[in-house]
Amino acid sequence: MFKKMLSRFGLIPPAHPLFADNWHYFRRLDQNRPLSDYEFVVFDTELTGLNRRQDEIVSIGAVKVRHLQIMVGETFHVYVKPSRPLPKNSTLIHRITPQQIDQAPRLAEVLPDFISFCGQALLVGHYVGLDVAFLNRACRRHYGAPVSNPCLDTMRLAQTYTEMQWQQYHDRFRMDVAYNLAALGREYGLPDFTLHDAYEDALQTAYLFVFLIKQMRSKGIVTLRDIFSAGQAWRNLF
Amino acid sequence: MSTGKNDAHNIAPETVLEFLRHTMPFNELDDDHLRELARHCIIDFIPKGTLIFRQGETEVEHFYLIQKGGVKIYLEDDQGEVTLKDFRGEGEYFGALPIIQNTRANLNVETVEDTFCFLFTKSAFRQLLDTSPRVSQYFLRSLSEKMINTAYAELRHHRVTPRTESALFLFSTQVGSAVKGEPKTIPADASVRRAAALMAELKIGSLLVTDPAGEIIGIVTDKDLRTKVVAAGLDYQTPVEKIMASPVITIPGHAVCFDAMLRMMRQRIHHLAIEKQGKIVGMITTHDIMLLQGTSPLYLFREIVAQRTLEGLHPLARKVPSVVRTLIEEGAKANNITKMITVLNDHILERLLTLLIEELGPPPLPFCWLLMGSEGRSEQTFKTDQDNALIYAWPQDEKKAAEAEEYFKALGERAIENLVLCGYPLCPGEMMASNPKWRMSAPAWQQCFDGWIMTPEPKEVMHSTIFFDLRPGYGDFGLADKLRHHLARTIPKQELFLYHLAQNAMEARPPLSFFRNLIVEKDGEHRNALDLKTKGLVPFVDFARLFALKHGIGESNTLVRLQLLREGGHISAEMYQETIKAYEFLMQLRLVHQLHMMENGQEPNNHINPANLSDLEKQTLKESFEVVRRLQSHIKAEFRLGER
């Protein structure tokens, strides 16, 4: 019972082999290598709502980033049928209709695919804490353990990058800076995105991620550890 | 859209697909091919100032398509001297050539902005070339015929409003502006025979009938003479008032021509009197309206030839654009169109000088009206400055000389005056027959040319180039031909003159290319308008003139000069082909641009905003500049410029 508790919080190796491998791998992760050496999976989820206890994932989109380049061919995109009917107001946000997910598999069926797609990559998302919370709740329920992959939040990265650019102290707390994906894309002059689903959002996040990492590289952020210490843009989810 | 089905590893992002669908040559691919290609795509971000390819060093592993941002492409020689070759922006690519030729990077490529690129691996790109002939053709072609023709088609399509709208002329032209002169009248008691004689004499189809007080009371037309007199067997002494139609149907001067046409059609008449402040100021006929519609150059041609007064001639030149638009719509090439404009202008000049000579009396000596510049090259567009001069035979004695001077002064000045009234602007440099400097006897002209040729000054060469495009316009063509022969004989031996001319031909530097709808000049500056004439056309004209003079070719038209140079083996077949294609394309682009401006009520100019061009037009224009660069390096090599 106690062991199960520890495992649920990622403190001891999970029993499931899929999770156990990653747990061991990330324990020994060398953070001093250049960022281009790591593999990242940039992902986004669509949810039935924002309540972390009740709401569920209805779609996952993800794309791989290797050598700090976006691998368009290595993508993951699924629709998931939630256990309860889709609330109407959520359809308004993600425009996924009940018909669209009627034939879709349950989260339990697609989770192993997604976990193996992520493999030993670092996870990246925009306001990633929310997506990971939903992901981990599902993982704990079905596998008794959360994912071990470290996560990077592009929103925090953007805040760090912006702060690095402002030299004056008072500028660091500018309130007029919007940190949503579209606003950041406009501010940094990234290509426009018109379509919005989990996959396109993941791709847009990947653009933002690659942009930020490469821009910060010229400011001395070279290794994974540099990122972590630069602005605590890092959430350790061990 | 797939619904619920999880084709997890088989999706291609819409963002990438959309971009490829709108980018040449990928837009040639069908959807399956595009999806396949998009799946092999790698997206890369390259910050500003990053060197992507280093010439001779970088192994090119990917083909790069720019999604956002831009790069500069340049060469660096052993001494570290940098030559900027091009700028590439969104939707443009780099890296194709090294992959096709399997070599290392041939040029340096560096980002000038934060840039996002779609990368395709060497093998994916090669496979694309193998499987899609249309795409490989795109990458492999130089200035192929197909591309040019597609560009022409696109020009016609997008830039000239469709034919149905040519009726717009009728909606915008007021009948008052169609008035060609005072209405012609005949007293009510004159005989029908007199009326017929008067119409024949004036070459018109109608007369207004006046009462003894001079008030207009009716109209008599050639149709009335046919139906009411000849066909009815009426006595030819019958007074016109018996057969006239009365009252005269009028239309206010401010009404548009379309209204006039409607009224004529409704009432089945061919003539309407134009009324201004209660007074009849002229007539408008169905024929006038047909001319306005510009259906056929022939009508205009006939009208020019039929003019008996200088005043009648003045409005005719303004009708040239409406005639030309029909030709453009029907797909005529610029060369034919400029020739047509030249023919029409030549006829106007001929009529004008003939009428002037009738007025001034016969000339004391044979003379020839010389045309120079674009007129001399038969390459006129809508608004070309006057460039003309006058040559006359050698006067045997002082008396004859004085007589000639006086006569040709009057002729020159009166002609220029009337040409201005026709709408041909004055030459700012006063290179016109009204200027005594450019009115000379044949020996004086020969001396003048010899001065330019034998003891050339760079500045004089620059100012005299248009004289070397001379062509006889009116009068004794022999005088002009003799001068041309003299030049063709003399110039090939005058190396210094040719050297200056060659240097002059290098003056106009073509812009590098387009970059985000901006013109990029050689020094890397961005501008937003392109002077098509000085940057695009002038270098071709200069090239053809230079080599034509060097090889003793007496022709003045650029395309004919090039053809003769080719036939004489002075330029390669390849250079000839690409040169005429590029030149014709630029001429066409300018014509369509100017027509477009005129139809929007603007003064036509040579400034093109690249933002208004399609991708294909931009691409073709870019390639035309590439040809200019090749022509100029040919000049450089041929005349060893830069070695002296």
Rounded Cα gap, residues B312 and B184, in angstroms: 13
Q: In terms of pLDDT, which residue wins out, A236 or A44?
A: A44
Confidence grade of residue B150 (pLDDT, cut at 50, 70, 90): low
* CB within 8 Å: B40 and A72: yes
* CB within 8 Å: A100 and B4: yes
CB B433 within 8 A of CB B412: yes
Q: What percent of chain B has pLDDT over 90?
A: 32
* CB within 8 Å: A73 and B41: yes
Of B7-21, B295-309, B438-452, give the range with the top mean pLDDT.
B438-452
pTM > 0.80: no
Burial of B411 (0-12, 13-18, 19+ CB in 10 A): buried
How close, in Å, is residue A4 to chain B by CA atoms?
32
3-class DSSP assignment, residue B504:
helix
Q: In terms of pLDDT, which residue wins out, A207 or A47?
A: A207
Q: Is the confidence at residue B312, as pLDDT, over 70?
A: yes
For the stretch B18-27, pLDDT in tens is 888 888 888 8
- How confident is the model at residue B521, as a pLDDT? 65
- How confident is the model at residue B353, as a pLDDT? 94
Q: Classify strands B439-441 and B41-46 as parallel, antiparallel or unpaired.
A: unpaired
Residues of B (344-383) whose Cβ lies below 8 Å from A: none
Q: Is the confidence at residue A64, as pLDDT, over 90?
A: yes
The beta strands (E) that lie in A80-175 are given as: 122-125, 151-153
Q: Is the confidence at residue B120, as pLDDT, over 90?
A: yes
B5 touches chain A (CB under 8 A): yes
What would the mean pLDDT of B226-237 be, rounded to a whole number? 85
What are B439's strand-pairing partners? B390
Confidence grade of residue A231 (pLDDT, cut at 50, 70, 90): low
CB-nearest to A210 from B45, B67, B68 is B45
For the stretch B583-610, pLDDT in tens is 988 988 888 888 888 777 777 888 888 8
- Residue in chain A lying closest to B5 (CA): A104
B6 touches chain A (CB under 8 A): yes
Q: Helix B145-159 and helix B615-638: axis angle, to 10°? A: 130
Contact list in B for residue A210 (CB cut-off 8 A) is 43-45
Q: In terms of pLDDT, which residue wins out, B547 or B246?
A: B547
How close, in Å, is residue B8 to chain A by CA atoms?
5
- How confident is the model at residue B90, as a pLDDT? 85
- Residue in chain B lying closest to A79 (CA): B4
Contact list in B for residue A76 (CB cut-off 8 A) is 8-9
* CB within 8 Å: A69 and B15: no
Q: Which of B32, B269, B281, B277 is nearest to B175 (CA)?
A: B281
Rounded Cα gap, residues A145 and A17, in angstroms: 11
CB B341 within 8 A of CB B382: yes
- Sign of the torsion formed by the C-alpha atoms of A92, A96, A102 and A106: negative
Instruction: Determine how many CB atoms are found less than 10 A away from the CB of residue A10.
Output: 20
For the stretch B533-567, pLDDT in tens is 888 899 999 999 999 999 999 889 999 999 999 99
What would the mean pLDDT of B244-266 be, rounded to a whole number? 79
For the stretch B343-352, pLDDT in tens is 788 888 999 9
The beta strands (E) that lie in A38-184 are given as: 40-47, 57-66, 69-79, 122-125, 151-153
Q: How many CB pairs under 8 A join A and B?
A: 86
Domain A2-231, second-level architecture: 2-Layer Sandwich (3.30)
The CATH classification number of B173-292 equals 3.10.580.10
Q: Which CATH number applies to B499-638: 1.10.1670, 3.30.530, 1.20.120, 3.40.50?
A: 1.20.120
- ipTM, two decimals: 0.85
* CB within 8 Å: A77 and B11: yes
- Residue in chain A lying closest to B44 (CA): A69
Q: Is the confidence at residue B156, as pLDDT, over 70?
A: no
Q: Is the confidence at residue B644, as pLDDT, over 60?
A: no
- How confident is the model at residue B1, as a pLDDT? 35
- How confident is the model at residue B412, as a pLDDT? 94
- How confident is the model at residue B297, as a pLDDT? 61
* CB within 8 Å: B13 and A203: yes
Rounded Cα gap, residues A226 and A161, in angstroms: 13
How close, in Å, is residue B71 to chain A by CA atoms?
16
- Do you know the residue count of chain B? 644
What are B93's strand-pairing partners? B65
Write out the residue limits of the CATH 2.60.120.10 domain(s) in chain B: 14-140
Q: Classify strands A40-47 and A57-66 as parallel, antiparallel or unpaired.
A: antiparallel
Q: What is the mean pLDDT of chain B?
A: 83
| Centroid of chain to Cα B619 | 20
- At position B297, the amino acid (one-letter code) is P
Confidence grade of residue B143 (pLDDT, cut at 50, 70, 90): very low
Q: Classify strands B216-221 and B71-76 as parallel, antiparallel or unpaired.
A: unpaired
A182 touches chain B (CB under 8 A): no
Contact list in A for residue B5 (CB cut-off 8 A) is 103
Contact list in A for residue B516 (CB cut-off 8 A) is none
- How confident is the model at residue B141, as a pLDDT? 60
- How confident is the model at residue B175, as a pLDDT? 82
Rounded Cα gap, residues B491 and B464, in angstroms: 14
* CB within 8 Å: B40 and A211: no
Contact list in A for residue B41 (CB cut-off 8 A) is 72-73
* CB within 8 Å: B38 and A78: no
Rounded Cα gap, residues B1 and A53, in angstroms: 31
B240 touches chain A (CB under 8 A): no
Tell me the two tokens of residue A11: 């403190």
Q: Is the confidence at residue B193, as pLDDT, over 60?
A: yes
Q: Is the confidence at residue A123, as pLDDT, over 90?
A: yes
Q: Where are the domains of chain A?
A: 2-231
Q: Is the confidence at residue B145, as pLDDT, over 50?
A: no
CB A46 within 8 A of CB A94: yes
| Nearest-5° Cα angle at B87, B82 to B92 | 140
For the stretch B377-408, pLDDT in tens is 988 887 678 899 999 999 988 999 999 999 99
- How confident is the model at residue B358, as a pLDDT? 92
- How confident is the model at residue A31, as a pLDDT? 87
Residue-by-residue DSSP string for B56-116: TT----EEEEEEES-EEEEEE-TT--EEEEEEE-TT-EESHHHHHHT-S-SSEEEESS-EE
Residues of A (92-111) whose Cβ lies below 8 Å from B: 99-105, 110
Q: Is the confidence at residue B59, as pLDDT, over 80?
A: yes
- Look-up: residue for tokens 């002038």? B538
CB-nearest to B14 from A105, A195, A207 is A195
CB-nearest to B4 from A69, A71, A103 is A103
For the stretch B77-104, pLDDT in tens is 777 777 777 788 888 888 887 887 778 8
- Picking from A70, A86, A196, A214 by the largest number of B CB atoms within 10 A of its own CB, the best residue to mutate is A70
A78 touches chain B (CB under 8 A): yes
Q: Is the confidence at residue B442, as pLDDT, over 90?
A: yes
CB-nearest to A72 from B4, B13, B68 is B13
Confidence grade of residue A174 (pLDDT, cut at 50, 70, 90): low
Tell me the two tokens of residue B225: 């003479």
* CB within 8 Å: A199 and B16: no
Q: Which of B595, B558, B550 is nearest to B579 (CA)?
A: B558
What would the mean pLDDT of A207-215 be, rounded to a whole number? 94
Tell me the two tokens of residue B132: 């899609």
Q: Is the confidence at residue B146, as pLDDT, over 50?
A: no
CB B13 within 8 A of CB A74: no
What would the mean pLDDT of B526-539 be, rounded to a whole number? 82
A220 touches chain B (CB under 8 A): no
From A56-60, B68-72, B519-523, the region with the lowest mean pLDDT: B519-523
CB-nearest to A78 from B8, B45, B68 is B8
Rounded Cα gap, residues A100 and A186, in angstroms: 31
Contact list in A for residue B16 (CB cut-off 8 A) is 72
Tell me the two tokens of residue A143: 């596998």
Which strand (E) or helix (H) includes residue B367? strand B367-371
Q: What is the mean pLDDT of chain A?
A: 82
Of B134-148, B286-300, B431-445, give the range with the top mean pLDDT.
B431-445
A197 touches chain B (CB under 8 A): no
- How confident is the model at residue B100, as a pLDDT? 77
- Picking from B6, B20, B67, B90 by the largest number of A CB atoms within 10 A of its own CB, the best residue to mutate is B6
Q: Is the confidence at residue A25, as pLDDT, over 70?
A: yes
From B104-108, B169-173, B503-507, B575-579, the region with the lowest mean pLDDT: B169-173
* CB within 8 Å: A100 and B3: yes
Confidence grade of residue A180 (pLDDT, cut at 50, 70, 90): confident
Rounded Cα gap, residues B37 and B14, in angstroms: 12
The CATH classification number of B14-140 equals 2.60.120.10
Contact list in B for residue A214 (CB cut-off 8 A) is 45-47
Q: Which CATH number applies to B294-493: 3.40.50.2300, 3.40.309.10, 1.50.40.10, 3.30.460.10?
A: 3.30.460.10
Confidence grade of residue A236 (pLDDT, cut at 50, 70, 90): very low
